[in-house]
Amino acid sequence: MGTPEFAVASLDALLKAGATIAGVITAPDKPAGRGMELQQSAVKKYAVDNGLRVLQPEKLKDPVFQEKLRQLNADLQICVAFRMLPETVWNMPPMGTINLHGSLLPQYRGAAPINWAVINGEKETGVTTFKLQHAIDTGNILLQESFPVGADDTAGIVHDTMKAIGARLLVKTVDGLATGTITETPQTIAPNETIHHAPKIFTETCLIHFDNPVKAVHDLVRGLAPYPGAFTFLNGKKLKIFKATAQYTIPNVPVGEYQTDGKTFLSVACADGLLDLKEVQLEGKKKMAIEDFLRGYQFK
C-alpha cells in the first residue's frame, strides 16, 4: 500500500527480493496538468509495468474494496507513504500490517517526519518498521536504522537517502517476520526524553521569520526544500528560497533587510547573522540560481 515515488523503492526491493506480491493498493488516478488529464500514482505506474494487480479504492472503509482485499489472501500487508488505515484493513491479514516510517520512532510521529527532522536541525535521523495499531505511529517496533544528516542537507536529500535505506530495511523486516527472527519491541519514552512531533506542513509553517537565529532560518529553508519551499516577500511578491547558506557574522542592517551587490549575492539579515540566498523563485517566475535572478531583477 503506497502512492508516491518513496513507496516505489520499497515495492521494487520486495519484488527483486523474491516476495510474492498479491496486490498493490494505491490512490485513485487524479486529474493534473493544464489538460486536467487523469494521472496515475508513481506506485500504480510501477505496478502496471510489472504486471501486478492494482486496487484503487476511493474509500478504505468501502465494503466492496475490503472484500477484494480479503480475496487477495495476503499473509502480510505493508504500508509505505499511504493513508491512515481503518482497523478492518490493517488487522485483516494473519501477520498484520507493517509500516515503514521516516524517523527513529517514537521521535517524529506524524505526517512530515523528514521535513521536521531537518527543520529542527537534527544531525541524525533514520527509518523504522513497526506493526500498525490503533494510535498513529505508536505500534511495536520491528527494526530501525539511522543515518547522519549533513549541515547543508535538504529534506529532498534526506528523502532520497531514506528511500533507499528504508527499502532495504523493509526487505530485512519481511524476511525476519517470515523466519520468526524478529522480536517486536514496544515504543517507550524515557522520563526526561523530549519528543518531537511531525505534523502536516501548512502555509504558515513555510513563512520565514528573520528575527530568529540564522541557523534556525537556514534549517527551515533546508527542511522545506524542494517542497513546499520556505518563503518571504520581496517588494510585495512571494519569494521562495530553496537553497541558502548561513553566515555567522553580525549584520549591519536591521533584521529582515536585504543586502546585495545586484550581481552575485543577496543576503537577508537574521537575529545573529546573514542568510545568503543561493536558489530562489519569485512569484510567477521559474526557479533559478541567485546570479540569474539578480541579472533580471530590478530592486526598487
pLDDT in tens, 170-218: 999 999 999 999 999 999 998 999 999 999 999 999 999 999 999 999 9
pLDDT tens digits, 211-224: 999 999 999 999 99
In the chain, the domains with their CATH numbers are 5-179 (3.40.50.170), 203-296 (3.10.25.10)
C-alpha cell at 248: 555567522
What residue ranges in the chain does DSSP mark as E strands? 24-25, 30-32, 37-39, 54-55, 77-80, 97-101, 124-131, 141-148, 230-234, 237-247, 258-260, 266-269, 274-282, 288-289
pLDDT tens digits, 233-255: 998 999 999 999 999 998 989 99
Residue list, annotated binding site = 103-106
pLDDT tens digits, 107-132: 999 999 999 999 999 999 999 999 99
Omega within 30 of 0 (cis) for the link into 106? yes
Residue of 197, 100, 202, 104 lying closest to 149 (CA atoms): 104
Secondary structure letter of residue 236 according to DSSP: T
- What is the pTM assigned to this prediction? 0.95
Q: What is the pLDDT of residue 31?
A: 85
Residue of 23, 25, 88, 30 lying closest to 61 (CA atoms): 88
Cα 17 to Cα 13, 77, 150: the distances in Å are 6, 16, 31
Query: Which amino acid is it at 212?
Result: N
- Rounded to an integer, what distance in angstroms lies between the CA atom of residue 26 and that of residue 2? 5
Percentage of residues of the chain with pLDDT beyond 90: 92
Q: What is the pLDDT of residue 63?
A: 97
- Rounded to an integer, what distance in angstroms lies between the CA atom of residue 26 and that of residue 24? 6
Centre a 10 Å sphere on the Cβ of residue 87 and count the other Cβ atoms it contains: 11
Note the Cα 80 to chain centre separation in Å. Answer: 11
Query: Which amino acid is it at 28?
Result: P
Supply the mean pLDDT for the chain. 96
Kindly indicate the confidence band of residue 34, based on its pLDDT and cuts at 50, 70 and 90: confident
Omega within 30 of 0 (cis) for the link into 254? no
Query: Which amino acid is it at 256?
Result: G
Q: What is the pLDDT of residue 299?
A: 80
Residue list, annotated binding site for (6S)-5,6,7,8-tetrahydrofolate = 103-106
- Rounded to an integer, what distance in angstroms lies between the CA atom of residue 105 and that of residue 181? 21
Phi, psi of 173 (to 5 degrees): -65, -45
